[in-house]
Amino acid sequence: MTPEIRDKYTVVIGLEVHAQLLTVSKIYTPDSTAYGSPPNTNLSAITLAHPGTLPKLNKKVVEHAIKMGLACDSDISRVQIFDRKNYFYPDLPKGYQLTQDRTPMCVGGYITITTKAGNLDIPLNRIHIEEDAGKSIHLENETDTLVDFNRSGVPLIEIVTEPSIRSSEAAAALLAEIRKLVRYLEICDGNMEEGSLRCDVNVSLRKLGESRLGTKVEIKNMNSIRNMMRAIGYETRRQIALLESGESIVQETRMFEVETGKTYGMRVKETMNDYRYFPDPDLSPVVISDQWLEQIKAEMPQLPVEL
């Protein structure tokens, strides 16, 4: 691709970063969150969604998530409910994931990154808490899928940026900054290889002079900053080639293949309302009192930008 063609477009990037929170027990059950335990040892009847079992929220999860929100200057939602996100997956025994759709823990805010052109504030859309799913394991020469539920119910925050990142370098700087922040706050170990920090990257292209955003493609589960940059680079070239030949971009979820450096289509993105979100009737709303918020503020360490 010639630089002249490349320069006709701006890349538009938004990140969805999942960080596993450092808690002793899971988000709604007393099971251990220890990484690397033998398969299916960190689970109880609640994690396995046996009939009659009920979730109970881990207070530490709320405190960790609020710390991230405070560090990003987000508004903290003072009354929160949990929503069921319904979908079927072998490693999701309930048939739904508990998340926050209507009342994310933190709204707005920003994270400052350093680029060659100086400091840049990347605006956040929201930070919400949710539970991780288990792991499906496909072994070679094994026709059945094996399932490990240890990760099921491990607490996560999802940090969702606005689509306002304009280069793979800026996306990399942001992910590095998030990793630094969660480590400073001691809310996540930031280990991308072990999957404690994972990133979905949304990429679209916009012709210069155009004000509307283009159709985005979501690339799932990047497990290193380098691979995320490779995926953005490949996706930029792929989309420009399509647009230049007069084709349109299909909104879809794609996977990145580490060996080839290419992305490939996984599924066409579910249309709206497919998840049938609704408030979970088993968990009562969480109310963040002034006193609790002050206490969490008092526990905040000094942040890197303040040093």
**Considering the rule CB under 6 A, would residue 216 count as an interface residue with ligand ADP?**
yes
Report how far residue 22's alpha carbon sits from residue 58's, in angstroms, rounded to the nearest whole number: 12
Secondary structure (H, E, C), 180-203: HHHHHCCCCCCCCCCCCEEEEEEE
Q: Residue 295 corresponds to which amino acid?
A: Q
Task: Report d(CA 17, CA 128) in Å as an integer.
Answer: 11
Residues in the chain: 307
Tell me whether residue 12 or residue 48 sits nearer to ligand ADP (CB atom).
Answer: 12
Find the part of the chain contacting ligand ADP (CB under 6 A) among 40-48, 58-66, 213-221, 238-246. 213-221
Q: Is 300 in the site for ligand ADP (CB under 6 A)?
A: no
Contacts of 230 (CB under 8 A, 6+ apart): 256, 261
Stretch that binds ligand ADP, among 65-73, 179-187, 208-216, 292-300 (CB under 6 A): 208-216
Does 198 bind ligand ADP (CB under 6 A)? Our answer is no
Does position 160 interact with ligand ADP (CB under 6 A)? The reply is: yes
Query: d(Cα 175, Cα 190) in Å, to the nearest integer?
Result: 10
213 lies in the site for ligand ADP, by CB under 6 A = yes
Under the binding rule (CB under 6 A), the answer on residue 15 touching ligand ADP is: yes
70 vs 124, which CB is nearer to ligand ADP?
124
Select from 29, 100, 204, 236 the one that contacts ligand ADP (CB under 6 A): 204
Contact 195, 223 (CB under 8 A): yes
Q: What angle do CA 90, 42, 19 make, to 5 degrees?
A: 75
Matching residue, tokens 């003072």: 78
With respect to ligand ADP, which residue has the nearer C-beta, 26 or 216?
A: 216
User: Does residue 74 interact with ligand ADP by CB under 6 A?
Assistant: no
Interaction of residue 231 with ligand ADP, rule CB under 6 A = no
Q: For the segment 236-255, give every residue that binds ligand ADP (CB under 6 A).
A: none
Site size with ligand ADP, rule: CB under 6 A: 15
Which DSSP string do the residues of 103-161 spell out, in sequence order?
S-SEES-EEEEEETTEEEEEEEEEEEEEEPP-EEE--TT--SPEEE-TTTT-EEEEEEE
Tell me which residues in 39-68 interact with ligand ADP (CB under 6 A): none
Choosing from 23, 58, 168, 202, the residue that interacts with ligand ADP (CB under 6 A) is: 202
Q: Is 101 in the site for ligand ADP (CB under 6 A)?
A: no
**Which of 163, 178, 197, 219 contacts ligand ADP by CB under 6 A?**
163
Q: What residues contact residue 154 under an 8 Å CB cut-off, 6+ apart?
A: 20, 21, 26, 27, 33, 131, 132
List residues near ligand ADP by CB under 6 A.
12-16, 160-163, 202-204, 213-214, 216
